[in-house]
């Protein structure tokens, strides 16, 4: 009997130990560790980004922004403001000083956002600050067609190491111009809705595309800057950026820089190229020799192949966008009505202008800036670069050399050698 009792006791102990182990596995599998595995396992190009842990933007020991005033949400004692311009919040936070040596370029980050984008832009800011701007402390301008609320300003101000500036978009830059036939525009949106064209029935998306095409660089808050870096909510930067891209643009006379290129939806721009050719005929003085026409056309300019630089990431010259060539081009497109009668995007507009009004050598592909915006990834092709810049991206996700990308064409028409190992990322 004692032997049998000992056996039963041993079985009980083993069963209890096994039960505790199972319960521990169940409860811990839904805890913080699961967030880490989602974030670090590599993002599929067909998936939206995972929700990041809340502590990514909340665990920072920085002073709170002062109580809002009744105008645009900031305390006049800690910021400056003008009625039509917006507000500027100085860098009085507990950030470490910029560690990069040398002079800074006259440049700023620029973001178009709504108050509902607060937590998504917070993620973007952290990527930019952690990978680059904490070393350089460049300013950041936020624009909105409505006043920013206290929460948006509080969160973004405490995350940006430079000055933050908040501006309101003038109504005439975010509305239908007088020459647009509202009934015709409504019929177009309904037709696109039925054909399931992405953003085809959206009015706000059209206002955004028109604003980004022709007006953001005219805003007073950008008046004193020479270069801009566009940042959108929910983007990611995968690699350290030790060299200043703004300074690189300035010193090498670059006017437009990109990280991803691809083909545009033809259904959204059926007459954009015909309108552009009309402009080229009327304003031949703006078409420069040594341009990049071959990047956007396979047949010497007869048709547009759809290739464009993805403008949700771009680093560019504000002087280029303010040039007579670009301003007259946008005005010509705007009068044609394609932003509303079709669904012209700012990406093909910027790209066609850069391809026609700039010389080849004035464009630049930022291979070392690992970048993600749903659903595409740019990851430096070579292992040497990924190691040098401490990249966290999966090279298998790199979009550059896949069939729907135009980056391979960009290299070919510009006589550039493709990076080592590109052929292993084509599929």
Domain encompassing residue 103: 53-170+215-245
Do residue 378 and residue 424 come from a single domain? yes
pLDDT at residue 232, rounded to an integer: 98
DSSP H stretches of helix in 160-262:
182-194, 203-214, 245-251
How large is the angle between the packed helices 272-282 and 324-336, nearest 10 degrees? 130
- The sheet with strand 371-373 has its strands ordered as 236-237, 371-373, 376-378
Q: Looking at the structure, do residues 224 and 332 belong to the same domain, yes or no?
A: no
Handedness of CA 97, 100, 102, 105 (dihedral sign): negative
What would the pLDDT profile of 235-252 be if each residue is shown by its tens digit? Answer: 999 999 999 999 999 999
Task: Pick from 7-16, 94-103, 314-323 the range whose average pLDDT is largest.
Answer: 314-323
Mean model confidence pLDDT for the chain: 83
Q: Does 209 reside within a domain?
A: no
The model's pLDDT over 121-167, given as tens digits with 9 standing for 90+, comes to: 999 999 999 999 999 999 999 999 999 999 999 999 999 999 999 99
* Residue at 283 is within a domain: yes
Check whether residue 276 and residue 366 sit in a common domain. yes
- Does residue 268 share a domain with residue 141? no
Regarding whether 222 and 345 lie in a shared domain, the answer is no
Q: Write down the pLDDT at residue 77.
A: 31
Per-residue pLDDT reduced to its tens digit, 272-304: 999 999 999 999 999 999 999 999 999 999 999
- pLDDT 10s digits, 346-377: 999 999 999 999 999 999 999 999 999 999 99
Other Cβ atoms less than 10 A from the Cβ of 186: the count is: 13
pLDDT band at 13 (very low <50, low <70, confident <90, very high): very low
Sheet holding 227-230, edge to edge: 80-82, 86-89, 164-168, 139-144, 107-112, 227-230, 314-317, 256-258, 363-365
| Residue where a domain stops, chosen among 203, 223, 245 | 245
Asked whether residue 85 carries a pLDDT value surpassing 60, the answer given is no
Residue 101 — pLDDT band, cuts 50, 70, 90? Answer: confident
Is the same domain home to 103 and 129?
yes
Averaged pLDDT, 9-30: 39
Q: What is the pLDDT of residue 94?
A: 58
Same domain, residue pair 232 and 295: no
350 lies in some domain: yes
Q: What is the largest CA-CA distance in the chain?
A: 107
Would the pLDDT of 103 be above 70?
Answer: yes
Is 47's pLDDT higher than 80? no
| CATH number assigned to the domain comprising residue 328 | 3.90.550.10
66: pLDDT strictly greater than 80: no
269 and 374 belong to one structural domain: yes
At 361 the pLDDT is 97
Domain membership flag for residue 24:
no
Same domain? 125 vs 269: no
pLDDT in the model for residue 102: 83
pLDDT band at 100 (very low <50, low <70, confident <90, very high): confident
Neighbours of 199 (CB within 10 A): 17
More confident residue, 213 or 62: 213
Taking residues 44-50, report their average pLDDT.
33
Q: What is the reported pLDDT for 92? A: 55
Residue 112 lies in a domain: yes
* pLDDT at residue number 88: 65
In a domain, 177, yes or no: no
Residue 12 banded pLDDT, cuts 50, 70, 90: very low
* Banded pLDDT at 93 (limits 50, 70, 90): low
The number of domains in the chain is: 2
Active-site residue set: 314
Residue 307 lies in a domain: yes
Q: Is the pLDDT of residue 340 over 70?
A: yes
Residue 133 forms part of a structural domain? yes
> CB neighbours (10 Å) of residue 398?
27
Give the span between the Cα atoms of 54 and 126, in whole angstroms: 13
DSSP state of 340: H
The tokens describing 280, both together, are 């080229």
Q: Do 224 and 289 have their domain in common?
A: no
pLDDT of residue 374: 96
Q: Within this chain, do residues 271 and 336 fall inside the same structural domain, yes or no? A: yes
- Give the residue from 227, 245, 263 where a domain finishes: 245
- Are residues 281 and 379 both part of a single domain? yes
């Amino acid at each position: 009997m004692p032997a049998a009792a000992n056996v039963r006791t041993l079985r009980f102990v083993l069963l209890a130990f096994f039960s505790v182990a199972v319960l521990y596995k169940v409860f811990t599998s839904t805890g913080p560790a699961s967030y880490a595995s989602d974030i670090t396992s590599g993002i599929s190009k067909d998936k939206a980004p995972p929700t990041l842990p809340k502590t990514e933007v909340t665990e920072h020991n920085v002073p709170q922004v002062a109580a809002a005033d009744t105008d645009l949400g900031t305390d006049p004692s800690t910021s400056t403001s003008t009625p039509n311009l917006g507000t500027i919040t100085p860098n009085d936070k507990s950030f470490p000083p910029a560690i990069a040596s040398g002079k800074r370029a006259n440049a700023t980050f620029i973001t178009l956002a709504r108050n509902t984008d607060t937590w998504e832009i917070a993620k973007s800011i952290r990527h930019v600050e952690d990978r680059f701007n904490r070393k350089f402390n460049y300013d950041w301008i936020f624009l909105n067609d409505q006043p920013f609320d206290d929460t948006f300003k509080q969160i973004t101000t405490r995350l940006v190491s430079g000055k933050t500036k908040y501006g309101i978009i003038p109504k005439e830059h975010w509305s239908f111009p007088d020459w647009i036939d509202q009934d015709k525009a409504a019929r177009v949106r309904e037709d696109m809705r039925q054909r399931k064209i992405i953003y085809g029935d959206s009015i706000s998306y059209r206002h955004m595309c028109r604003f980004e095409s022709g007006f953001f660089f005219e805003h007073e808050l950008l008046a004193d800057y020479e270069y801009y870096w566009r940042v959108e909510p929910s983007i990611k930067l995968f690699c350290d950026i030790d060299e200043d891209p703004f300074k690189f643009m300035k010193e090498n006379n670059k006017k437009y820089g990109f990280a991803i290129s691809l083909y545009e939806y033809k259904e959204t721009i059926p007459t954009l190229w015909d309108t552009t050719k009309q402009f080229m005929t009327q304003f031949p003085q703006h078409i420069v020799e040594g341009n990049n026409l071959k990047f956007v056309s396979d047949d010497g300019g007869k048709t547009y192949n759809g290739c464009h630089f993805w403008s949700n990431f771009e680093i560019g010259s504000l002087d280029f966008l303010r040039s007579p060539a670009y301003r007259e081009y946008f005005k010509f497109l705007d009068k044609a009505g394609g932003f509303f009668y079709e669904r012209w995007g700012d990406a093909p507009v910027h790209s066609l202008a850069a391809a026609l009004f700039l010389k080849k050598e004035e464009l630049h592909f930022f291979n070392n800036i690992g970048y993600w915006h749903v659903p595409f990834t740019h990851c430096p092709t070579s292992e040497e670069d990924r190691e040098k810049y401490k990249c966290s991206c999966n090279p298998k996700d790199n979009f550059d050399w896949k069939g729907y990308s135009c980056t391979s064409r960009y290299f070919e028409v510009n006589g550039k050698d493709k990076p080592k190992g590109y052929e292993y990322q084509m599929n």
